[in-house]
Amino acid sequence: MARHVLVTGGAGYIGAHACKVLARAGYVPVTYDNLITGWRDAVKFGPFEQGELADRARLDAVFARWQPVAVMHFAALSQVGEAMAEPGRYWRHNVLSSLTLIEAAVAAGCLDFVFSSTCATYGDHDGVLLDENTPQAPLNAYGASKLAIENMLRDFGAAHGLRSVIFRYFNVAGADPDAEVGEFHRPETHLVPLLLEAIDGRRGALTVFGSDYPTRDGTCIRDYVHVMDLAEAHVLGLAWLEAGKGSRVFCLGTGTGFSVNEVIEAARGVTNRAVPVTQGPRRQGDAVALVSGSARAVAELGWRPTRSTMPEMIADAWRWMQNGHYSQ
Ligand code: UDP
């Protein structure tokens, strides 16, 4: 019997990589995506169902059709700048849509749920290594909306037996080494693809958002994880739930932070090309430093991030940019 997994946002960056790893692990990923920020071409590893998360009747039909063993919920708005400017969209789209999805999953008796949360739920913690027990105090509506969904999952766990693995991601970069899927956002707002597009002459200079932060070189520090390592953690999270181990939160980082300037230097080294850069003001809503321990994911899930070095992430993202694309 095929084991279907309902993957919301399976046509997006992280969701598409998760579908590849799920298929490799013997599951059938069923992508549920509205294609507003996702790409039809990214759905390569299982069936596609186009729909809105807020459409309960459509979700009910999809649960009935595929009888998924679990949900992986990636679909979300995820840009800090946009969340500062339009918080209502984040509360409506991320929180209300997730509520509809969770209620549909419970009604269908699909009680294993893997959720994409974020280090943006933490806020500023003055350079400490963040872990699952660090207090959460988000600085923007993106982080706040994800934290609300974490709380929602807990409540539905207590009331309806929903079992959730919540992954708090740090920054995600890189691409499938085979370049079957990769990172492609329109508009693009993320550092690594913007940087590589600037290097490749596809856009103007990269603007560094703030160089007066209290860090070693004045730019913000983030912990970058390779998207394939992250996708593998999701399959381990699913196995955890299927083994009946119950609800759990896991941070997915590497414990090593890179400043914006260090990422720029690494891209210069990997591509061997000049990097056009200009200095700009701070971006509102940005935390100074977000770096995680991943001891729990390593010890309990057996997670082994093998590709999350900065040169490898940049090299894979660069290969994808040269060789892969989705039609626009
Ligand atoms: N960043 C930057 N210029 C850009 C885009 C991002 O300096 O054009 C910085 C941003 O301020 C943050 C880091 O790069 O410190 C990573 O930002 P990104 O948007 O990729 O991810 P986020 O940390 O917001 O999830």
To the nearest whole number, what is the mean pLDDT of the chain? 96
CA 247/CA 74 separation, integer angstroms: 18
Q: How far is the CA of 260 from the centre of ligand 1 (A)?
A: 8
Q: How far apart are CA 140 and CA 156, in angstroms?
A: 25
The neighbouring-strand residues paired with 5 are 29, 70
pLDDT at 194: 96
Q: Give the integer Cα–Cα distance in Å for 168 and 130.
A: 10
CATH homologous superfamily, domain 4-173+224-252: NAD(P)-binding Rossmann-like Domain (3.40.50.720)
Q: Where in the chain is the domain with CATH 3.40.50.720?
A: 4-173+224-252
Q: Give ligand 1 pocket residues (Cβ under 6 A).
A: 80, 171, 189-191, 194, 206-209, 220, 222, 260, 283, 286
Question: Which residue has a Cα nearest atom 22 of ligand 1?
Answer: 171
pLDDT recorded at residue 124? 86
Angle, alpha carbons 6-7-13 (nearest 5°)? 170
What's the rounded mean pLDDT across residues 48-62? 98
pTM of the shown model: 0.96
How many other C-beta atoms are found inside a 10 Å radius of the C-beta of residue 201?
9
As a whole number, mean pLDDT of residues 2-23 equals: 98
**Is residue 327 pLDDT above 80, yes or no?**
no
State the Cα–Cα distance between residues 22 and 149, nearest whole angstrom: 23
Q: Percentage of the chain with pLDDT > 90?
A: 92
Q: What is the pLDDT of residues 217-235, one digit of tens each?
A: 999 999 999 999 999 999 9
Mutate to test the pocket of ligand 1, among 260, 275, 278, 313 (most ligand atoms within 8 A of CB): 260
The partner residues of 33 in beta bridges, in order of sequence, read 50
Q: Please state the atom number of ligand 1 nearest to the C-alpha of residue 192.
A: 20
Q: Where are the domain boundaries for CATH 3.90.25.10 in the chain?
A: 191-222+255-323
Is 142 catalytic? The answer is yes
pLDDT band, residue 328 (cuts 50/70/90): low
For ligand 1, mutation pick of 216, 283, 291 (most atoms within 8 Å of CB): 283
User: In the CATH scheme, what architecture does the domain 191-222+255-323 have?
Assistant: Alpha-Beta Complex (3.90)
